[in-house]
């Protein structure tokens, strides 16, 4: 995407009328909205009454020093670039110590001005991205890399195709929707996809939508102008702007309120955002990755998620299977996690004895990979000499399923034969139980048409008469 200054509000403070007009004309041609002042008094009045993204300040003005604004009306919010004559470089450097982003020595090439502004802008966005990372929850190293065992082979093929499409397209990358139960690794997958894609050098900004109060979600995502609401004492860019040229990961996206969903839809469609309190939109080039542990189609039916937003997000859909569906992946995954967690404690990786493998395969793992990582760490801390026996699963009574349950890792086909029809009926009942009796949702869980499920249920009901 070609960089312009569309949507930027810029204050130019310069006492020389001709240079002032030429600067304003150059910036306006780039799409910026420009206000000008020829002295310190006029500049202070404009800075108090309006909100600016950037201020170009001449150091020497008829009624004072432009750099005084750095500790006054422009002390928070806008980027500041100072302009000075040949002999005033020392003053310009001092201005940068007060918070100016850059300085220009007059006379300068006007064609260079938009480039210097964009450079300062990118520095601001990087700083905002780092601030967002430091403000966010601490990341666990456990499961930091995806383990592509046989249980994730289909997912890996999908990801390979997405990355190939990304490399072909490069700009304006379409959204990715990740679905999966809590703890399956949706955040890990989003980070992996960003690191492997063409935007790996750009920022990755993460937002857990369920952790943001509804009243603040719009400002957090899209930013706000000074004075947009009671506590908005300065202009603040949102996470979509901070992720410019990179990726914005929205975890638990159905937690967003419907009005915020509408604004997110508009941002995705228009590739532009409008800060809270702003009059004009500004373009953004951001790859959206959204994740949900809920069935978004059910949320749409319930009126809790916008169908048009789902259609926008549901282009590249990836479903992460729960751990219980990944078969024998669980043993090498456990060993991989154990080695990484043990290294964090400066210890040797614990052994995985046969009894531990048995409990590992038999347990249902409702918390999925996250629960597995916690069990490993718990064993490493409380039973360091016992290896990974997973006795705590038995002690809590939450572990082994019945050996006769064919979904258990311990199941073996009986010598007297096995009823496939009964197994199918059992799967259908499990799906209905998991979906609270919703036939459509159960059919999606099983990957079959709804009519097939209705036929089976009707047929069994008639057999039972």
Q: How do residues 243-274 score in pLDDT, each as one tens digit?
A: 888 999 999 999 999 999 999 999 999 999 98
pLDDT at 86: 62
Q: Tell me the C-alpha distance between 192 and 333, whole Å.
A: 17
Strand 287-292 with 176-179, pairing: parallel
pLDDT confidence bin for 311, thresholds 50/70/90: very high
pLDDT at 458: 78
Q: How do residues 214-241 score in pLDDT, each as one tens digit?
A: 888 998 999 888 777 777 667 778 899 8
Q: Tell me the C-alpha distance between 113 and 104, whole Å.
A: 9
Which whole number is the average pLDDT over 345-355? 89
Verdict on whether the full-model pTM lies above 0.95: no
Q: Tell me the C-alpha distance between 56 and 66, whole Å.
A: 9
- 73-82, 305-314, 322-331: which range is least confident on average? 73-82
Percent of the chain clearing pLDDT 90 (strictly above): 33
406 vs 299: which has the higher pLDDT: 299
Are the C-beta atoms of residues 441 and 435 closer than 8 Å to each other? yes
pLDDT at 332: 92
Beta-carbon contacts of 233 under 8 Å, excluding residues fewer than 6 positions away, are: 76, 226
Domains of the chain, CATH where assigned:
9-132 (3.40.50.2300), 150-321 (3.40.50.300), 328-395 (1.10.8.60), 420-463 (1.10.10)
pLDDT at 49: 81
* Helix boundaries (H) for 271-362: 296-301, 307-313, 330-344, 354-362
Q: How do residues 91-122 score in pLDDT, each as one tens digit?
A: 667 777 777 888 888 888 898 888 888 888 87
β-pair partners for 34: 10
Q: Tell me the C-alpha distance between 70 and 89, whole Å.
A: 17
pLDDT at 324: 86
Q: Tell me the C-alpha distance between 339 and 437, whole Å.
A: 42
Q: Tell me the C-alpha distance between 241 and 229, whole Å.
A: 20
pLDDT confidence bin for 132, thresholds 50/70/90: low
């Amino acid at each position: 995407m070609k960089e312009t200054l569309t949507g930027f509000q810029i204050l130019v403070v310069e006492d020389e009328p001709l240079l002032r007009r030429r600067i304003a004309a150059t910036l306006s041609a780039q799409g910026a909205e420009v206000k000008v002042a020829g002295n310190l008094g006029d500049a202070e009045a404009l800075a108090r009454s309006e909100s600016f993204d950037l201020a170009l300040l001449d150091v020497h003005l008829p009624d004072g020093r432009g750099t005084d604004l750095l500790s006054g009306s422009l002390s928070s919010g806008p980027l500041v670039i100072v302009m000075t004559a040949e002999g005033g470089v020392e003053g310009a450097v001092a201005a940068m110590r007060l918070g100016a982003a850059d300085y220009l020595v007059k006379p300068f090439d006007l064609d260079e001005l938009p480039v210097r502004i964009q450079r300062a802008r990118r520095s601001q966005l990087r700083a905002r991205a780092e601030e967002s990372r430091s403000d966010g929850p601490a990341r666990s190293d456990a499961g930091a890399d995806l383990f592509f065992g046989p249980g994730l082979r289909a997912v890996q093929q999908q990801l390979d195709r997405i990355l190939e499409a990304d490399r072909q397209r490069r700009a304006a990358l379409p959204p990715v929707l990740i679905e999966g139960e809590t703890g399956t690794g949706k955040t890990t997958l989003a980070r992996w996809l960003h690191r492997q894609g063409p935007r790996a050098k750009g920022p990755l900004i993460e937002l857990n939508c369920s952790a943001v109060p509804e009243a603040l979600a719009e400002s957090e995502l899209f930013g706000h102008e000074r004075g947009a609401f009671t506590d908005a004492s300065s202009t603040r860019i949102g996470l979509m702007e901070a992720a410019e040229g990179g990726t914005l990961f929205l975890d638990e996206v159905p937690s967003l309120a419907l009005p915020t969903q509408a604004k997110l839809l508009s941002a995705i469609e228009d590739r532009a955002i409008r800060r809270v309190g702003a009059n004009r939109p500004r373009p953004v080039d951001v790859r959206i990755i959204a994740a949900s542990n809920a069935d978004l189609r059910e949320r749409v039916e319930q009126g809790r998620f916008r169908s048009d937003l789902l259609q926008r997000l549901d282009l590249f859909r990836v479903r992460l299977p729960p751990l219980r569906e990944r078969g024998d992946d669980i043993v090498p995954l456990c060993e991989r996690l154990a080695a990484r967690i043990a290294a964090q404690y400066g210890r040797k990786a614990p052994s995985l004895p046969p009894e531990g493998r048995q409990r590992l395969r038999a347990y249902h793992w409702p918390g999925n990979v996250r629960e597995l990582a916690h069990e490993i760490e718990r064993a490493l801390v409380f039973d360091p000499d016992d290896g990974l026996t997973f006795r705590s699963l038995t002690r809590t009574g939450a572990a082994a399923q019945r050996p006769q349950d064919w979904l258990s890792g311990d199941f073996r086909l009986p010598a007297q034969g096995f009823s496939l029809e009964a197994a199918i009926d059992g799967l259908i009942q499990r799906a209905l139980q998991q979906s609270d009796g919703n036939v459509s949702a159960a059919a999606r869980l099983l990957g079959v048409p709804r009519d097939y499920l209705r036929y089976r249920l009707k047929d069994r009901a008639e057999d039972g008469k």
